Amino acid sequence: MNSYFASVEQQANPFLRGRPVGVCAYLSPKGCIIASSREAKAVGIKTGCIVADALKIDPKVVLLENEPAKYRSTTERIFKILAEYTDTLEPYSIDEAFLDLGGWAKNFKEAEIIGLEMANRIKTEVGEWLSASVGVSSTKFLAKFASDIGPKGGLLTITPENLDSLLSGRTLTDAWGIGEAMAARLNFLGVNDLLELKCYDKDKIRRLLGRYGYYLWAGVNGLEVSSVNIGSPAPKSIGHSYCLPKKTTDKKYLSAILFKLCEKAGRRLRDQELEAGHISVYGSYVQGGSISKSFKTAAPMFTTEEIAREALPVLEKAYLTGPVRMLAVSVGRLTAVSGQMSLLENNLSKKDLSRAIDKVNNKYGEYTVIRGAMFGLNDQARDRIGFRKTVVI
């Protein structure tokens, strides 16, 4: 999907169509724009730009705080359309998906027809202002590359016949999985564009850059190194962070915010019926430096209270050297939730209570029922959205 969050906002509000729109994590001057409309990109307001700079570039830009529920519900409608065309669908992110059309399309031409039909159905059934770019090829790597470099709102097919011409002169970072650091390492080896990477000696690149180097070489050579995975990938960790509007050393306020972050992490943990055996707590100061602690927990965590019981003492025991600007909590070592009882407390009834509270909040809206430690924090640490692993289909 192109300019996804901004396009969803323009679809929802016709008065925003044709105007530069930026969707922000926060509307404060230092808030970051996480999605720009086509009109905003045209004047130089791109993803990663901060609010203050965006207003300097174009004072008339419309800046909106993100509404995660709106984007998730739109993605679910889009993915339901895609699922009608194959039984092998991988939701790669909130605005991207891979479809294996083997068995559904006999050749590239039939795959192109299916791709264009899906894009048209998204426009007619989900939103006329939504635009999808379709990439067709024989592998995941090249299909994504095609959708990235192809015409916005159009279709590009990569075949063995046109592969070299599309790779020639193409910047290394245009390929999936190559960032600035990897591009610099490849430059050091004498590889300056994607066609040079394709022609590089595969044994030499594996010897110099390891398994990942071979993965990149195989990708541009049209060799499949990963198949389409059905369903959403299982997370390795679940966490939340929050840049505080009030920079402070007040531990009572900081503890309340940290508790809410534990609740947000706990909600996602319970939604996926997982429990965690590791926790990380992090905080950063305005003037630089941080509070940081990661450790394995003695017992699995499932409820918000269990997560908070491990996280809050880290903050309480910390000697704060200055105002805190950001807090974060993350849980890892995720496994399927067990019915194991504790010798020391009735943990099963607490799990059931947490599930019951979640059901109420799912039905009537977030924070309909809240823990007392979060009272008065409705406008703090609100729901946030990211592009990866945010929709379970």
- Three-state SS at 9: helix
Q: Are residues 352 and 248 in the same domain?
A: yes
Backbone angles phi, psi at 297, to 5 degrees: -90, 155
21 with 109, same domain? no
Helix axes of 251-271 and 304-317: crossing angle, nearest 10 degrees: 150
Residue 309's Cα: distance from chain center in Å? 28
Same-domain status, 83 and 16: no
125 and 206 housed in the same domain: yes
Number of structural domains (the chain) is 3
Whether 391 is in a domain gets the answer no
Domain contains 303: yes
- 200 & 311 share domain: no
Torsion of CA 172, 178, 181, 183, to 10 degrees: -20
Please indicate, yes or no, whether residues 148 and 93 belong to a single structural domain of this protein. yes
Do residue 263 and residue 289 come from a single domain?
Answer: yes
- The residue type found at 11 is Q
Note whether residue 230 is domain-resident. Answer: no
Domain end position, chosen among 17, 32, 66: 66
Q: Which two tokens stand for residue 48?
A: 């990663």
* Residue at 389 is within a domain: no
pTM above 0.85, yes or no: no
Is the domain of 245 the same as that of 195? no
Q: What is the pLDDT of residue 390?
A: 47
Q: What is the CATH number of the domain that holds 213?
A: 3.30.70.270
Q: Are 387 and 380 in contact (CB under 8 A)?
A: no
- For residue 232, being part of any structural domain is answered with no
Helix/strand/coil for 1 = coil
CATH, residue 11: 3.40.1170.60
Q: Is residue 390 part of a domain?
A: no
Q: Which helix (H) or strand (E) holds 330?
A: strand 324-332
Is residue 235 classed exposed, middle or buried when 0-12, 13-18 and 19+ CB atoms within 10 A define those classes? middle
Q: Got the DSSP string for 87-146?
A: S-EEEEETTEEEE--BTTBSSHHHHHHHHHHHHHHIIIII-TT----EEE-SSHHHHHHH
Whether residue 195 contacts residue 166, with contact meaning beta carbons closer than 8 Å, is answered with no
* Residue of 146, 127, 126 lying closest to 137 (CA atoms): 146
Q: Domain span at residue 92?
A: 72-220
How far is residue 219's CA from residue 275's CA, in Å, rounded to a whole number? 35
Q: Which among 163, 189, 220 is the end of a domain?
A: 220
Please report, for the domain that includes residue 342, its CATH number: 3.30.1490.100
Q: Choose the final residue of a domain: 220, 245, 260.
A: 220
Interatomic CA distance for residues 343 and 15, integer angstroms: 60
Q: Using DSSP bridges, classify how beta strands 155-157 and 134-136 pair: parallel, antiparallel or unpaired.
A: parallel
On whether both 121 and 171 belong to a single domain, the answer is yes
Say yes or no: 144 and 252 in one domain: no
Q: Which amino acid is at 123?
A: K
Residue 174 lies in a domain: yes
Question: Which pLDDT tens digits describe the chain residue by residue (393 residues)?
Answer: 999 999 999 999 999 999 999 998 778 787 889 899 999 999 999 988 989 999 999 999 999 988 888 898 999 999 999 999 999 999 888 999 999 999 899 999 999 999 999 999 999 999 999 999 999 999 999 999 999 999 999 999 999 999 999 999 999 999 998 989 999 999 999 999 999 999 999 999 999 999 999 999 999 999 987 777 776 566 788 888 888 878 899 999 999 999 999 998 998 898 888 999 999 999 999 888 899 999 999 989 988 999 999 999 999 999 999 999 999 999 999 998 876 655 555 566 777 888 888 888 777 777 777 777 776 666 555 555 554 544 555
Are residue 349 and residue 264 in the same domain, yes or no? yes
In a domain, 385, yes or no: no
Which pair of tokens denotes residue 359?
A: 């059901």
Indicate the helix (H) or strand (E) that contains 243: strand 237-248
Q: Which letter, b or e, does each residue of 134-163 get, where b requires 16 or more Cβ atoms within 10 Å of its Cβ?
A: bbbbbbbbbbbbbbebbeeeebbbbeeeeb
User: Do 78 and 215 share a domain, yes or no?
Assistant: yes
316's enclosing H/E stretch is helix 304-317
Tokens 């541009």 appear where? 220
Burial 24-52 (b: 16+ CB within 10 A, else e): bbbeeeebbbbbbbbbbbeeebebebebe
